[in-house]
Amino acid sequence: MKPILLTLLTLGAAAISAEPPTATTLSPDDYGITAKTPPVIKVDPGPRYFPRLRTWQGIPSIERTAKGRLWATWYAGPLSEGSSGNYALLVTSSDDGLTWSDPVAVYDPTSFFDGSTGDPHVWIDPQGRLWWFVFRILKVKHADGIRSEWGFCCENPDDPMPKWNAPVFAGFGLGLNKPTVLSNGDWLRPIDNSQEVKQGTRTQFYVSHDQGKSFSFFSKLSIKDVSFAEHMAVERKDGSLLMMARTTYGIAQAESFDHGATWVNEGPFTKERGVNTRFFLRRLKSGALLMVVNDVPRGRDRMTAMLSEDDGKTWPHKLVLDERKHVSYPDGTEGANGFIYVTYDRGRYELGEQEILFAKITEADIKAGKLVSEGSKLKQVISRLADAQGGVHHTREPQLMEEAFEKSRGKTKP
């Protein structure tokens, strides 16, 4: 018995004296967590996510229910884009955007093995359900990379505190743009999979054949000079698809004649506007195509709504939504009331700006080149950090803090 007892005591002493595992030595893999382990969201998240505690915010998305409730989402955090600590938040308005709630839901992956997030978006599907798509970066070993997209769906979007279904995996990569519902019933979801940068095929699509119960990889294509694809597709009147994507020279386009399974005729759509920044593309109920873009050769000013009535061949109608600098990343929706709602951000790191804004317009306004419809509005504030004593104390404060940190470690940022 003594040798056995001595052995057990020795093992016990070794276990006691061994260094306990630390957060830096553990990874999601140690717990059997994979890229497809579902994320969670926080409902009624509290003041930790109020604007007073944000240093930056941007990249919004907007939707409107059939009964008129507005939903908006964007992402924000204590430092800057791409830094740790960021989260996606969801707010709502019951008075057509006059006032907005504090965050009613938050996707915060930062407490989960230092996960991070990026561009979220909202979408009302054909059944009237609200989808909130969020992006997760989780450092796990997976052939398809560490980035994944997830959709949370609620069936009661007119409730200010809706109940959410379990998340649905929506693709590997980042999908910041709304799905396109095709005439065959499929939901076509754009995905930017940076895992395939070297292959040149980061511009991808996932598809749902079952109204959002599942999404599966569908197609990909190579686009010359694509930076962040941020692509969108519309179905034309003849059933073909027109896709546009962000590039370093402007906006590229491609076509599909088999519901998005393959893509052909890739090439420039324009080099005159939207250079290396996001735009928004959608078909309206009238059949016209809407594009919202920075209408300058280079830069992020003159946020402009453009209209095409010949399936994208010409764009003769324009309405400037915001002529100021630092306006970017538009997203939009069309309400049952006949109005078009366009959201965008302004001055993510600029003192006195740091706004999430929206415009409420009609097709008649765009054709007239000015507001002619009763009820139309421009430059409406959803959130402005300075109004809550949040945000930066001087322009580029987050970047300067990061540069000072790197300098203190004997490094310089590239």
| pLDDT tens digits, one per residue of 267-307 | 999 999 999 999 999 999 999 999 999 999 889 999 999 99
Q: Does residue 371 contact residue 361 with C-beta atoms inside 8 Å?
A: yes
| pLDDT tens digits, one per residue of 330-385 | 999 999 999 999 999 999 999 999 999 999 999 999 999 999 999 999 999 999 99
Q: Is the pLDDT of residue 17 over 50?
A: no
Predicted confidence band of residue 413 (pLDDT cuts 50, 70, 90) = low
> How would you class 404 by CB atoms within 10 Å of its CB: exposed for 0-12, middle for 13-18, buried for 19 or more?
exposed
What single letter denotes the amino acid at residue 30? D
| pLDDT tens digits, one per residue of 52-82 | 999 999 999 999 999 999 999 999 998 899 8
* Strand arrangement, sheet containing 180-181: 180-181, 187-192, 203-208, 216-221
Predicted confidence band of residue 198 (pLDDT cuts 50, 70, 90) = confident
For residue 412, what pLDDT is reported? 62
Q: Let me know the angle formed at the C-alpha of 183 by 179 and 188, rounded to the nearest 5 degrees.
A: 25
Out of 88-97, 105-114, 212-221, 309-318, pick the least confident. Answer: 105-114
Find the length of the chain.
414
Q: Sort strands 42-43 and 147-154 into parallel, antiparallel or unpaired.
A: unpaired
Q: How far apart are CA 394 and CA 136, in angstroms?
A: 30
> How would you class 7 by CB atoms within 10 Å of its CB: exposed for 0-12, middle for 13-18, buried for 19 or more?
exposed
Q: How far apart are CA 101 and CA 159, in angstroms?
A: 13
Q: How far apart are CA 271 and CA 384, in angstroms?
A: 32
Q: How far apart are CA 328 and CA 303, in angstroms?
A: 7
For residue 28, what pLDDT is reported? 79
- Mean pLDDT value of segment 240-256: 97
Q: How far apart are CA 354 and CA 114, in angstroms?
A: 26
Structure token digits, residue 242: 């027109």
Is the model more confident about 22 or about 237?
237
For residue 2, what pLDDT is reported? 42
Nearest to 253 by CA among 264, 240, 239, 261: 264
- Mean pLDDT value of segment 24-50: 85
For residue 414, what pLDDT is reported? 53
The structure's pTM equals 0.91
Neighbours of 356 (CB within 10 A): 28
Domain at 42-408, CATH from 3.30.750.24, 3.50.30.10, 3.40.50.300, 2.120.10.10: 2.120.10.10
For residue 354, what pLDDT is reported? 97
Neighbours of 387 (CB within 10 A): 13
List, in order, residues 6 or more apart from 411 with CB less than 8 Å away: none
- Specify which residues 63 forms β-bridges with: 71
> How would you class 309 by CB atoms within 10 Å of its CB: exposed for 0-12, middle for 13-18, buried for 19 or more?
middle
For residue 25, what pLDDT is reported? 61
- Specify which residues 219 forms β-bridges with: 205
Q: Is the pLDDT of residue 139 over 90?
A: no
* Strand arrangement, sheet containing 355-361: 327-334, 340-346, 355-361, 377-384
Nearest to 309 by CA among 236, 250, 232: 236
Is the model more confident about 117 or about 115?
117
Is the model more confident about 401 or about 114?
401
Q: How far apart are CA 224 and CA 292, in angstroms?
A: 22
For residue 336, what pLDDT is reported? 95
Structure token digits, residue 59: 């990249």
Which of 6-10, 14-18, 217-221: highest mean pLDDT? 217-221
- The per-residue pLDDT of the chain, averaged, comes to 91
